[in-house]
Amino acid sequence: MNTPTNRRSLERGEIDTFNHVASGVLGRVRLVKTNILPPAADGMTIGRFVFLRGDRIQDRSTTLLAHELVHVRQFAELGVMKFLIAYLGAYVKNLYSLRNHHAAYLAIPLEVEARREAARWAQQQRNGGRDGATVDGASH
Ligand SMILES: [Zn+2]
């Protein structure tokens, strides 16, 4: 029987691949397939639960997952309440000053950090796992 997976843990290989987050944190992660997410979002993280749209739960080693896993680490460090207060507080403050949902979302410090760390991780993957040695201006 081949039932579709709607929920899974990270596999050993993924825990090794996503080396930008501590393996102790990754071991607790649960990926959950959902079709109920804010428009334009492919993923959303609450605590150790990473909600992914459609079949993205089957994707391995994507920058999307790398990004969401940074949020899992942030949740682990701050606790759920502190994360949500920091996240939503920054969003509301940004919305007040920027008057634009997308700009306000992008400027949330927890999002800035997740994008930066996921980009660094993706760059490292392209470099064959070697750290550092980023090439600015490289197109691929
Ligand atoms: Zn994010």
Give the Å distances, CA to CA, from 99 to 93, 103, 110, 117. Answer: 10, 8, 19, 27
Average pLDDT over residues 10-25: 96
How many Å lie between the centroid of ligand 1 and the Cα of residue 1? 35
pLDDT at 63: 94
Nearest to 65 by CA among 30, 39, 104: 30
Instruction: Give the pTM.
Output: 0.87
pLDDT at 39: 78
Q: What is the pLDDT of residues 66-122, one digit of tens each?
A: 999 999 999 999 999 999 999 999 999 999 999 999 999 999 999 999 999 999 999
How many Å lie between the centroid of ligand 1 and the Cα of residue 132? 23
Are the beta carbons of 43 and 68 closer than 8 angstroms?
yes
Task: For residue 41, give the amino acid letter.
Answer: A
pLDDT at 131: 58
How many Å lie between the centroid of ligand 1 and the Cα of residue 8? 20
How many Å lie between the centroid of ligand 1 and the Cα of residue 65? 10
Nearest to 23 by CA among 65, 61, 73: 73
pLDDT at 138: 42
How many Å lie between the centroid of ligand 1 and the Cα of residue 23? 20
How many Å lie between the centroid of ligand 1 and the Cα of residue 44? 7
pLDDT at 140: 47
Are the beta carbons of 75 and 48 closer than 8 angstroms?
yes
How many Å lie between the centroid of ligand 1 and the Cα of residue 2? 32
pLDDT at 27: 97
Q: What is the pLDDT of residues 36-71, one digit of tens each?
A: 888 778 899 999 999 998 878 888 779 999 999 999
Give the Å distances, CA to CA, from 139 to 64, 128, 134. Answer: 20, 16, 12
Average pLDDT over residues 5-15: 92
